[in-house]
Structure 1
């Protein structure tokens, strides 16, 4: 959710358990404005909170010229002082997925993953060697945030457009989804580079608008049923909750330009989801 309207829009996700104390709200409103000016961001979003055993991480994202690909992620433990997170590489993500359990709340903490490697010696004797792989909590934090963004970060259809040069920007003519559109999963799209769109046939892509339909719709997500869509306040608010990353909530006020998302959870993926549906 945008930092500028944080104090208003945080109420939209209160029913999902996302609550900020008055002190945290005040600190975030001030520090995120300072962060935006100091780092020369076009826009700053409050991304959410990852719960640790000893301490919690408050996450913010700064946006540059490209809304989708020009992101800088920062974390804070007191809502005042912000630290940059390293960009999550594929190698970092692969290593970080080996770490099990919750975050501790200490960025310098190192998880240890022990792998047993089997080697064959003389006379085909099997020898076992233990290899310890250190995983920094800061790297794991960056990887989990990147995974959540990739898996469940969503936006309403037509909220963003893709310019001919490939730049993704906010659609100024977007006036919100109607109540009928807001009730359909096909009206929401993953805010990342399209994967399934390229697999569609030319006939399926014939009716798509290239400027708007450049993302994957969440209706095609596997497994089916990984999203919970609910209306609140009559039809004045629609919320989508992810069952894959428990704690991720998207909200939209139909008929307006108000939409956003926030994550409040332990940073652990629900691997049992296919067996729960």
Structure 2
């Protein structure tokens, strides 16, 4: 959610349980605008909040010219002071794969990382690996959620011939009919399914705006919920895989965005719930 329109956007997703006190709203908007100035970002968004047992992480991200390029992420424990998070790496993802349970809310908290060793003819054994800080787990979890369920409406972004992706200034929003379709929303990350399509399948696509993966091919089927709220004035898309991810779009306008308010835990029971 863009820091500029944060109070208005939060009202649109309040039905999903995304609720903040007036004091926190004011503090977030003011501090995020200062973050944009101090770090010289083109745009700053409130990514969401990961609720821990003893505290919560408020997460923001700063964007540069390329909207799907590398993003700078920051976190705050009080909505005022922000700390820059390291760039996620493959090593971080591997180190945090086995970590389960709720976040503690303390970035310096250390987890015991148990490594499994399999030997021929013997049951697997677990040995204590290097300690993993919760800050590392936070970085990996945010990146995983963003790649899995960070979405945008079709046409909101345009890919230039040179490669970078920019906001589409001619985008005036989806119609109400199109906004109700899952195929009208794309993952805001490097495409995977699109690269596997044949030339015949790509013939009907507009390379300027159809350069991302559509939600309609997500597995498992039924992992997204689309609802029409406020008498058809707002479309809300919720993820059932990462409970707490809410996307909103006001049809026939440029207003859209997503936010995550959850515990940072993946819903592994989803295939059994569908």
Q: Which residue of 2 aligns with 1:87?
A: 87
Based on CA coordinates, which of the two structures has the bigger radius of gyration?
A: 1
Compute the displacement of 1:7 (Å): 1.0
> Does structure 1 conserve the Cα–Cα contact (< 8 Å) formed by 2:98 and 2:114?
no
1:1-277 correspondence to structure 2 within 5 Å: 1-118=1-118, 130-277=127-274
Rate the CA distance shift 1:251–1:126 in 2: closer, same or farther, 3 A.
Answer: closer
Q: Distance in 2 between the 1:45 and 1:133 partners?
A: 34
Please identify, of 222-231 and 91-100, the stretch whose mean Cα deviation from structure 2 is larger. 91-100
> Does structure 2 conserve the Cα–Cα contact (< 8 Å) formed by 1:150 and 1:192?
yes
| Equivalent position SS for 1:35 | helix
Q: Distance in 2 between the 1:158 and 1:188 partners?
A: 9
Q: Distance in 2 between the 1:7 and 1:127 partners?
A: 52
Please identify, of 130-139 and 147-156, the stretch whose mean Cα deviation from structure 2 is larger. 130-139
| Equivalent position SS for 1:212 | coil
Compute the displacement of 1:132 (Å): 2.7
Residues 44-89 of structure 1 deviation map (CA, whole Å, 9 limit, x = unaligned): 0000000000000000000011111131000000000000111111
- After superposition, the CA RMSD in angstroms is 1.6
Compute the displacement of 1:119 (Å): 5.3
Compute the displacement of 1:246 (Å): 0.1
Residues 216-268 of structure 1 deviation map (CA, whole Å, 9 limit, x = unaligned): 00001010000000000111000000000000000000010000000000000
Q: Given the two structures, how large is their TM-score scaled by the length of structure 2?
A: 0.97
> Does structure 2 conserve the Cα–Cα contact (< 8 Å) formed by 1:189 and 1:218?
yes
Q: Distance in 1 between the 2:13 and 2:176 partners?
A: 19
Q: Distance in 2 between the 1:240 and 1:178 partners?
A: 15
Q: Distance in 1 between the 2:123 and 2:267 partners?
A: 36
| Equivalent position SS for 1:133 | coil
Q: Given the two structures, how large is their TM-score scaled by the length of structure 1?
A: 0.96
| Gaps in structure 2 of 5+ consecutive residues | none
Residues 118-173 of structure 1 deviation map (CA, whole Å, 9 limit, x = unaligned): 558xxx99996733332110010000000001000000000000011110100000
Number of equivalent positions? 274
Q: Distance in 2 between the 1:176 and 1:125 partners?
A: 59
| Gaps in structure 1 of 5+ consecutive residues | none
> Does structure 2 conserve the Cα–Cα contact (< 8 Å) formed by 1:47 and 1:61?
yes
Compute the displacement of 1:117 (Å): 2.6
> Does structure 2 conserve the Cα–Cα contact (< 8 Å) formed by 1:99 and 1:135?
no
Q: Distance in 1 between the 2:72 and 2:170 partners?
A: 27
Moved over 3 A (4+): 124-129
Compute the displacement of 1:90 (Å): 1.0
Rate the CA distance shift 1:119–1:216 in 2: closer, same or farther, 3 A.
Answer: closer
